[in-house]
Amino acid sequence: MVNDVTPATAEGPGQSRTAAEHGFAENPYNPHAWIIGDPRIGPGTWIGAFTVIDGSGGLTIGAGCDISCGAQIYTHSSMRRCVSGHRYGNVERRATKIGDRVFIGANAVVNMGVSIGDEAVVAAGAVVTRNVPARAVVAGIPAKPIGRVVIAADEVHIEPLTSGRSA
């Protein structure tokens, strides 16, 4: 049996619905991405399925970026409001900036208020809580520098950091 995916209003196994039918606002990047607020997204940027792109606190994503499936980029946090039983009445918001040609791996999380420099790499599953310099490679929870992107002529490779050296 062929499991064809039918567009628009069909429901059931193997069938697809539009972003609007899922409750997501339509966006030009991926019908299965949740993009809220008014993020500024540069030309040539690709956004994978099942991503959360939160532009509610000010978000800039540069040109030529790849935001892999399941990545989450935040510009807000309701943590203080929640744990205070709403005595702290505000949702905190801080602008987040992602430079040009940045790769963000699958299921990575970028927290509010951080900046990621041009040509940086955020490994799959990393949680970015601090600024990331240009051409740095970060991984882990919390994300820490593990290497540098080296671009020379037609070659691109990752140079691992040696002990005591930062990105």
* Residues designated as active site: 86
Pairing of strands 127-128, 136-139: unpaired
**Cross-strand pairs, 58:** none
